[in-house]
Protein backbone atom coordinates (compact mmCIF):
# COMPACT_ATOMS: atom_id res chain seq x y z
CA UNK A 1 0.00 0.00 0.00
CA UNK A 2 2.80 2.44 0.82
CA UNK A 3 4.23 2.10 -2.71
CA UNK A 4 0.91 3.09 -4.25
CA UNK A 5 0.47 5.97 -1.81
CA UNK A 6 4.07 7.04 -2.39
CA UNK A 7 3.53 7.13 -6.14
CA UNK A 8 0.33 9.12 -5.69
CA UNK A 9 2.09 11.41 -3.25
CA UNK A 10 5.05 12.00 -5.57
CA UNK A 11 2.73 12.78 -8.46
CA UNK A 12 0.69 15.10 -6.26
CA UNK A 13 3.71 16.87 -4.82
CA UNK A 14 5.23 17.09 -8.27
CA UNK A 15 2.55 19.55 -9.35
CA UNK A 16 -0.40 17.41 -10.42
CA UNK A 17 -2.85 19.60 -12.26
CA UNK A 18 -6.34 20.14 -10.85
CA UNK A 19 -8.68 17.51 -12.23
CA UNK A 20 -5.96 14.86 -12.54
CA UNK A 21 -7.11 11.65 -10.86
CA UNK A 22 -4.86 9.41 -8.81
CA UNK A 23 -5.74 5.85 -7.85
CA UNK A 24 -4.61 4.45 -4.52
CA UNK A 25 -5.10 1.29 -2.47
CA UNK A 26 -6.50 1.59 1.02
CA UNK A 27 -6.12 -1.95 2.32
CA UNK A 28 -8.56 -1.81 5.24
CA UNK A 29 -11.15 0.49 3.62
CA UNK A 30 -13.53 -2.32 2.79
CA UNK A 31 -17.04 -3.35 3.71
CA UNK A 32 -19.17 -6.43 3.37
CA UNK A 33 -21.59 -4.94 0.85
CA UNK A 34 -23.95 -7.89 1.35
CA UNK A 35 -24.23 -7.29 5.13
CA UNK A 36 -27.32 -5.57 6.59
CA UNK A 37 -27.17 -1.77 6.95
CA UNK A 38 -28.04 -0.49 10.45
CA UNK A 39 -28.97 3.19 10.92
CA UNK A 40 -29.37 5.10 14.19
CA UNK A 41 -30.28 8.80 14.50
CA UNK A 42 -32.06 11.37 16.65
CA UNK A 43 -35.01 11.60 14.26
CA UNK A 44 -36.51 10.08 11.13
CA UNK A 45 -38.83 11.54 8.50
CA UNK A 46 -40.29 9.29 5.80
CA UNK A 47 -41.19 10.92 2.49
CA UNK A 48 -43.93 8.72 1.00
CA UNK A 49 -43.93 10.52 -2.37
CA UNK A 50 -40.28 9.66 -3.07
CA UNK A 51 -39.95 6.56 -0.91
CA UNK A 52 -37.01 8.09 0.94
CA UNK A 53 -36.19 8.12 4.63
CA UNK A 54 -34.35 11.14 6.02
CA UNK A 55 -32.38 10.55 9.23
CA UNK A 56 -31.14 13.64 11.10
CA UNK A 57 -29.01 14.30 14.16
CA UNK A 58 -26.06 12.14 15.17
CA UNK A 59 -26.62 9.69 12.34
CA UNK A 60 -24.53 6.52 12.54
CA UNK A 61 -24.67 3.87 9.84
CA UNK A 62 -22.99 0.50 10.15
CA UNK A 63 -22.45 -2.24 7.60
CA UNK A 64 -20.11 -5.01 8.64
CA UNK A 65 -16.96 -3.32 10.01
CA UNK A 66 -17.62 -0.03 8.19
CA UNK A 67 -19.08 2.98 10.05
CA UNK A 68 -20.39 6.19 8.51
CA UNK A 69 -21.50 9.17 10.59
CA UNK A 70 -23.05 12.48 9.50
CA UNK A 71 -25.53 15.18 10.51
CA UNK A 72 -28.10 14.07 7.90
CA UNK A 73 -28.48 10.91 5.83
CA UNK A 74 -31.14 10.27 3.20
CA UNK A 75 -31.80 6.60 2.53
CA UNK A 76 -32.91 5.98 -1.05
CA UNK A 77 -34.74 2.71 -1.53
CA UNK A 78 -34.60 0.64 -4.71
CA UNK A 79 -37.24 -1.46 -6.35
CA UNK A 80 -39.07 -3.57 -3.81
CA UNK A 81 -39.77 -0.73 -1.37
CA UNK A 82 -38.11 -0.37 2.00
CA UNK A 83 -36.69 -3.87 1.95
CA UNK A 84 -33.81 -2.89 -0.32
CA UNK A 85 -31.55 0.14 0.17
CA UNK A 86 -30.20 1.52 -3.09
CA UNK A 87 -28.08 4.42 -1.82
CA UNK A 88 -27.25 6.62 1.15
CA UNK A 89 -26.71 10.37 0.73
CA UNK A 90 -24.90 11.83 3.75
CA UNK A 91 -24.09 15.46 4.51
CA UNK A 92 -22.72 17.53 7.35
CA UNK A 93 -19.41 16.40 8.82
CA UNK A 94 -19.31 13.02 7.11
CA UNK A 95 -16.85 10.49 8.56
CA UNK A 96 -16.26 7.01 7.14
CA UNK A 97 -14.18 4.50 9.12
CA UNK A 98 -13.10 0.99 8.18
CA UNK A 99 -10.22 -0.74 9.92
CA UNK A 100 -7.19 1.59 10.10
CA UNK A 101 -8.57 3.79 7.33
CA UNK A 102 -10.72 6.87 7.86
CA UNK A 103 -12.22 9.41 5.48
CA UNK A 104 -13.88 12.78 6.04
CA UNK A 105 -15.82 15.08 3.71
CA UNK A 106 -18.69 17.56 3.59
CA UNK A 107 -20.84 15.10 1.65
CA UNK A 108 -20.79 11.41 0.73
CA UNK A 109 -22.98 9.26 -1.49
CA UNK A 110 -22.81 5.50 -0.93
CA UNK A 111 -24.17 3.24 -3.68
CA UNK A 112 -24.87 0.07 -1.71
CA UNK A 113 -25.09 -2.28 -4.72
CA UNK A 114 -21.77 -1.25 -6.25
CA UNK A 115 -20.00 -0.63 -2.94
CA UNK A 116 -18.88 2.79 -4.23
CA UNK A 117 -18.60 5.81 -1.91
CA UNK A 118 -18.08 9.27 -3.44
CA UNK A 119 -16.76 11.87 -0.96
CA UNK A 120 -16.86 15.54 -1.94
CA UNK A 121 -16.04 18.84 -0.26
CA UNK A 122 -12.62 18.92 1.42
CA UNK A 123 -12.34 15.13 1.15
CA UNK A 124 -9.52 13.54 3.11
CA UNK A 125 -8.45 9.95 3.73
CA UNK A 126 -6.00 8.89 6.44
CA UNK A 127 -4.20 5.67 7.25
CA UNK A 128 -2.04 5.98 10.31
CA UNK A 129 -0.08 9.23 9.90
CA UNK A 130 -0.37 9.23 6.09
CA UNK A 131 -2.89 11.62 4.56
CA UNK A 132 -4.42 11.86 1.11
CA UNK A 133 -6.77 14.71 0.22
CA UNK A 134 -8.58 16.03 -2.83
CA UNK A 135 -11.72 17.71 -4.07
CA UNK A 136 -13.32 14.33 -4.76
CA UNK A 137 -12.46 10.85 -3.52
CA UNK A 138 -14.18 7.76 -4.86
CA UNK A 139 -13.71 4.69 -2.65
CA UNK A 140 -14.59 1.18 -3.82
CA UNK A 141 -15.43 -0.75 -0.65
CA UNK A 142 -15.38 -4.10 -2.46
CA UNK A 143 -11.74 -4.03 -3.51
CA UNK A 144 -10.35 -1.35 -1.18
CA UNK A 145 -9.19 1.06 -3.91
CA UNK A 146 -9.88 4.74 -4.40
CA UNK A 147 -9.46 7.47 -6.99
CA UNK A 148 -8.67 11.02 -5.92
CA UNK A 149 -9.29 13.99 -8.20
CA UNK A 150 -9.12 17.74 -7.98
CA UNK A 151 -6.18 19.32 -6.28
CA UNK A 152 -4.54 16.19 -4.84
CA UNK A 153 -2.43 16.55 -1.69
CA UNK A 154 -0.52 13.81 0.08
CA UNK A 155 1.48 13.64 3.31
CA UNK A 156 3.49 10.45 3.71
CA UNK A 157 5.45 9.41 6.74
CA UNK A 158 8.95 7.99 6.15
CA UNK A 159 9.51 4.41 7.20
CA UNK A 160 5.86 3.28 7.12
CA UNK A 161 5.02 0.08 5.31
Burial class (CB within 10 angstroms; exposed 0-12, middle 13-18, buried 19+) of 8: buried
pTM above 0.85, yes or no: no
Residues 110-138 have pLDDT tens digits of 898 888 889 999 999 887 788 889 999 98
The full set of domains in the chain, from first to last, is 2-155 (2.60.450.10)
CA pair distance 109, 43, nearest whole angstrom: 20
Residues 40-68 have pLDDT tens digits of 999 999 988 888 999 999 999 888 888 88
Amino acid sequence: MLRVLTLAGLLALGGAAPGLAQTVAFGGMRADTSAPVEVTADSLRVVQATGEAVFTGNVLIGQGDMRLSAATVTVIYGEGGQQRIKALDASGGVTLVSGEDAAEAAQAVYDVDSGQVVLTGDAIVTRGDSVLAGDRIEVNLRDGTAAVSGRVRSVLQPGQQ
